[in-house]
Amino acid sequence: MNLVTYRPTPEDYAYTFGGRAPVARLRAGDALSVYTEDCFGGKVLGYDDFPSQVCEFPYLNPVTGPFHVEGAEPGDTLAVHFVSITPARDRAVSTTFPHFGALTSTSHTASLQPPLEERIWVYELDVAKGIARYSARNSDYTVDLPLDPMHGTVGVAPAAFESRMTITPDAHGGNMDSPELRAGVTAYFGVNVPGALFALGDGHARQGHGEVCGTAVESAMNTVVVVDVIKGQATPWPRLESDNAIMSTGSARPLEDAYRISQHDLVTWVSGLTGLDTLDAYQLVSQAGEAPVGNVCDPNYTMLAKIEKSVLRGALPYHGVHDRLRAVAARI
Amino acid sequence: MNLVTYRPTPEDYAYTFGGRAPVARLRAGDALSVYTEDCFGGKVLGYDDFPSQVCEFPYLNPVTGPFHVEGAEPGDTLAVHFVSITPARDRAVSTTFPHFGALTSTSHTASLQPPLEERIWVYELDVAKGIARYSARNSDYTVDLPLDPMHGTVGVAPAAFESRMTITPDAHGGNMDSPELRAGVTAYFGVNVPGALFALGDGHARQGHGEVCGTAVESAMNTVVVVDVIKGQATPWPRLESDNAIMSTGSARPLEDAYRISQHDLVTWVSGLTGLDTLDAYQLVSQAGEAPVGNVCDPNYTMLAKIEKSVLRGALPYHGVHDRLRAVAARI
Amino acid sequence: MNLVTYRPTPEDYAYTFGGRAPVARLRAGDALSVYTEDCFGGKVLGYDDFPSQVCEFPYLNPVTGPFHVEGAEPGDTLAVHFVSITPARDRAVSTTFPHFGALTSTSHTASLQPPLEERIWVYELDVAKGIARYSARNSDYTVDLPLDPMHGTVGVAPAAFESRMTITPDAHGGNMDSPELRAGVTAYFGVNVPGALFALGDGHARQGHGEVCGTAVESAMNTVVVVDVIKGQATPWPRLESDNAIMSTGSARPLEDAYRISQHDLVTWVSGLTGLDTLDAYQLVSQAGEAPVGNVCDPNYTMLAKIEKSVLRGALPYHGVHDRLRAVAARI
Amino acid sequence: MNLVTYRPTPEDYAYTFGGRAPVARLRAGDALSVYTEDCFGGKVLGYDDFPSQVCEFPYLNPVTGPFHVEGAEPGDTLAVHFVSITPARDRAVSTTFPHFGALTSTSHTASLQPPLEERIWVYELDVAKGIARYSARNSDYTVDLPLDPMHGTVGVAPAAFESRMTITPDAHGGNMDSPELRAGVTAYFGVNVPGALFALGDGHARQGHGEVCGTAVESAMNTVVVVDVIKGQATPWPRLESDNAIMSTGSARPLEDAYRISQHDLVTWVSGLTGLDTLDAYQLVSQAGEAPVGNVCDPNYTMLAKIEKSVLRGALPYHGVHDRLRAVAARI
């Protein structure tokens, strides 16, 4: 196994999926060790580093990459197995941000009201103990929350010659902000351009469902992935696979369309894996399926449709690539 | 403790919340044992009992009740603790229904497409083993799913002189279709009329998240609850409490508004319980909160906002009524 | 022709459609002359009459009625032709209202932001000149706008034993808030209960599209209508007919569903009137149809689908009842 | 005045806004005469030219351009005055397209239903008489509709390094599909990149409100525009100005957000032009404003907020550039 290590300098980050030259080339089966900055570009470190002052649009939500994967062609699927996601600093931050989040009017759900107060919270991280410590700003109140590191933003170059801001999730992946995208999980992306042009960033030490205030526990990360290419099999929307479950994503507005896309894809996927006809698969997903919420604050909202592998009675998604990458990961 | 038993005859069912005289009167602290019919009124029992033929609008989704609770006045909160929810038959059914469900156009998300095929699935229930057996219709394929009995429809008479079809969830409760409403949970409803006029029905042997095909594993139930009244404390939207978590509900369209309502109520609730100011509570819910999906198929969609009680550092919702009702339940 | 005159006392107003006994009985062909109060119950007359202080929930948006129309049975259609709608006072008012309107967060599109300032505008009406005079509050700025009187709220008792607040538009009509509902227009409602139980209120001296601030130029009205019953023809959603156009309404959230319902009904209606098959009617409506916005602030949003009668090549909606009622109106 | 003529060859068309080199350079004040192909690339000419067969994704909705306008810098506004829009062929076409349109489930409002029948309608155009003739496919039924030529797709390169498919409307313009974009109108776009990189296409011989079936009366066009640059004044969302009215656009999902964006921008714009404070402008727009629907079928839906200039009491938008371009146009 080949391990590629890549650590970007500040000018190396990308702010779009698509429209960027690759920073490195990988072969199927390679492991990749990267550093990713947090969504603020590392500029928000203390209570006075207001994002609206220290961050400059459009230099938000930097991603590391893109990486060209040899042999990935349009119509194929890129598999990205997350081996480890480890906070790179001993603290992480969260903030409100003017007119961004689910419990505020926004640029699109526009109102004439002034924004909420911009406030910063600093979380102390203890990786050894697996803890992210919440501290209130206006009370003497702390809570230790379980560390659950994940990447909010992972994706490939979009189709149709598009370049999209890293903050937007869509069929190419992007800023899905789902806690399900943690270590031990394989993500699948449909390839739209030669080499796939995979990139990742926006680490979260942990995140609630929907990222309701607009940001998670934002953290720089040291992350290791293994990549593979599944030739000749397309993937319409990003999918995830853990040891126990398969998941489809959908990113859209209104939120019910994110739900519909993800459930529709899961029904189709389960039907293909089990041989059940569409309505029988629809019924099975209806009674056994889950619907984890990703984000309800980004330009598109993200929901997942999830089902335990046990209902598949042994069928192997993508010919068992998840298990193979698990084995590769164990050897790193 | 007083145990009231009520078993309705077919003509006793209600099809609205509001606009009905009570079928019985309870006192705070009473236990109530009831039978509830399934959403089809018990008329769909086999593969040929197509709901569009055997059911007649508006005689759908019957509820048992309403029950007048002594002393419940507008501005108070009714607590309903679910002691047990037990399937009353050894089989349950699920169906597609023309132009109803999340992966079909509907009367409101209207299209010119014909409906999906109307199909019925019969689940064998084994209460002792805790299993509901899915059997495909067009394949030789069965899966044993965990039994997880719940009530899809629970609520009180609405405010503002309204009567609402039992199929519609809103601020009075109704057809929220959340798997979280299972035995061991206390539900809280704001009281809008003297006596609250509580009713329940629509049992599900289990349900996936969102009830994507429009129906769950629909089951008649034998159910026991204990009721209580919390005087002088209003509850804006139905809330749930389990041993480990508190939950707010929101029912609305589009789905993001159900999310917003529920998260807003949980932020407010957590703020009140902990003394955190609004933004500090917003931040805590953002990172520690969950967002279980109820239904994405009814006239209003339902989402829950949920947080572990551990973050409350000992604060007791509604002055500890859940624990007291738990204790009462243990004596039944 | 019989002319019934009805002037309510304050305690006579209704606040729901459904759940009320009729205040008078009409026969098909009768004319009805009524007074309707404004949406504030006439309590907001000057700059200091803040609705949040002088109005009491749920006593908002009073309607005059309901009226029982002899011979109207479920499955029939009630036709209500608006002969005249005349402001009853020489001034009308508009206001912002806390957390109500399209450019503010609301109870359902919930945010943590405080409400906009509550402010009242008083319009001088000159019926003879056909003018409603806007006067800014914080500038010396007036504009004379054309008077265009209409009723925001018109409807019948809902189906399925429901009672609905008058502020909510739905398939029974209600608070559609469409400027198209002016004198010279015939409104059609599907009958759900014997006698139809028709009521009306919420006069507007004029209104912009969508009622973006949440209220129109709210005005008490003296209104004359003529009613008729079309036997054996159902109407799924309220429809309007003017001398030149036919219109279908849809009331729902999100707004695209109001659009879909109304366009779907118009396509179906045009298909029935012209003999075009569904797709040919879809195409004709697509290129020749309009989509007037009703409200984007009420519990359901309302849109209309409208098409010129000229494309119908002489087909007569509802067997020409509009023309007959026009003739009756001319004799009053 | 300088007149630039540009006629693209088939390989010259662009399929994105952004990510393309300019095809020509213009100076402020130049007139530009262009040919634009229809949204099908001219490949759908008769009843058997099914778009799903003759068109290839992503080569849909070609635009002519982009054009670099000298002196246009980020933060400026580009003014594009439409002098004339003339159908280039004597026939135009419309179609249903699988899973596209408002009265069908789509890729995003996903259902398990099969698509509607794909059908093509051919309209005969008579420019001299101003007529587009509808002919039904399954009936002997024709209707002459008024010709009302417009461009569905007009815009500039997006901000934030993005490239967007021409089918998507957003803050940069794009596929807004509004009938208001006709000859005699000036369109304003915020400039995001040096030279603005303006492009246009997707001519419609006419269009109903919302483009409900997904396509309009699609027509190649010969179009003349005059361009100008307003230095130092930004424009957040595309705006239009006719001789009598000003209009703001909003493009988003759900449709109420398109409404909110456009109304919010119009309130802000009116406030700036008149000196009214925000709430006084909100009130004026609420009672005097209109809300023309653009599209309810594209990746974002588009609505306009419109108000008669008469309410502005003489204030001149963009320092009167519309009147000056009108005068220039008269000399061509």
The yes-or-no verdict on residue D1 having pLDDT over 80 is no
pLDDT attached to residue A322: 98
Query: Could you tell me which of A209, B105, A134 has the C-alpha nearest to residue D113?
Result: B105
Cβ contact D213–C282 (<8 Å): yes
Q: Report pLDDT digits (tens) over B32-81.
A: 999 999 999 999 999 999 999 999 999 999 999 999 999 999 999 999 99
Residue B317's contacts (CB-CB under 8 Å, 6 or more residues apart) are B239, B241, B246, B269, B273
> What is the full DSSP assignment across D162-197?
-BEETT--BTTEES---TT-BTT-EEEEE--STT--
Q: Which token pair is D17?
A: 């806004």
Task: Identify the residue among D16, D20, D108 best suited for mutation to test binding to A, counting A beta carbons within 10 A and taking the highest.
Answer: D108
pLDDT attached to residue A244: 98
Closest chain A CA to residue B262: A103
Residues of A with CB under 8 A from a CB of D: 15-16, 18-19, 57-58, 107-112, 159-165, 250, 252-254, 257, 260-261, 263-264, 267, 278-279, 282
The yes-or-no verdict on residue A1 having pLDDT over 90 is no
pLDDT attached to residue B28: 97
Considering CB atoms only, which of C109, C165, C264 is closest to B110?
C264
- Residue boundaries of the structural domains of chain B: 3-330
Q: Report pLDDT digits (tens) over D36-84.
A: 999 999 999 999 999 999 999 999 999 999 999 999 999 999 999 999 9
> What is the full DSSP assignment across D77-111?
EEEEEEEEEEESSSEEEEE-BTTBSSSS--SSS--
Q: Report pLDDT digits (tens) over A85-105.
A: 999 999 999 999 999 999 999
Band of pLDDT at residue A212, cut at 50, 70 and 90: very high
Pick the CATH number of A3-234 from 2.60.120.580, 3.40.50.1820, 2.40.40.20, 2.60.40.10: 2.60.120.580
pLDDT attached to residue B1: 76
Residue with tokens 């909110």: D260
Cβ contact B138–A291 (<8 Å): no
Compute the average pLDDT of residues D117-135.
98
pLDDT attached to residue A318: 98
What CATH fold (topology level) applies to the domain C3-330? Answer: Jelly Rolls (2.60.120)
Phi and psi angles of residue C254, each rounded to the nearest 5 degrees, phi first: -70, 175
pLDDT attached to residue C1: 76
Chain B residues with CB-CB distance to C61 below 8 A: none
Separation between Cα atoms, residue A253 and residue A302, nearest integer Å: 9
b/e C161-179 (16+ beta carbons within 10 angstroms → b): bbbbbbbbbbbbbbbbbbb
Cβ contact B286–A253 (<8 Å): no
Contact assessment for residue A293 and residue B291, using Cβ atoms and an 8 Å cutoff: yes
Q: Report pLDDT digits (tens) over A273-326.
A: 999 999 999 999 999 999 999 999 999 999 999 999 999 999 999 999 999 999
Shortest distance, CA D153 to any CA of chain A (angstroms): 17
Q: Which token pair is A83?
A: 């081996």
Band of pLDDT at residue A53, cut at 50, 70 and 90: very high
Compute the average pLDDT of residues C113-137.
98
Per-residue pLDDT of chain B (332 residues; tens, 9 = 90+): 799 999 999 999 999 999 999 999 999 999 999 999 999 999 999 999 999 999 999 999 999 999 999 999 999 999 999 999 999 999 999 999 999 999 999 999 999 999 999 999 999 999 999 999 999 999 999 999 999 999 999 999 999 999 999 999 999 999 999 999 999 999 999 999 999 999 999 999 999 999 999 999 999 999 999 999 999 999 999 999 999 999 999 999 999 999 999 999 999 999 999 999 999 999 999 999 999 999 999 999 999 999 999 999 999 999 999 999 999 999 98
Q: Say whether B325 sits in a helix, a strand or coil.
A: helix
Q: Report pLDDT digits (tens) over A226-245.
A: 999 999 999 999 999 999 99
Cβ contact D113–B115 (<8 Å): yes
Q: Report pLDDT digits (tens) over D210-224.
A: 999 999 999 999 999
Cα distances (Å, whole numbers) of residue A225 to A33, A316, D152: 7, 21, 44
In this structure, the strands spanning C239-241 and D301-308 are unpaired
pLDDT attached to residue A160: 98
Cβ contact D212–C143 (<8 Å): no
Class at the top of the CATH hierarchy for domain D3-235: mainly beta
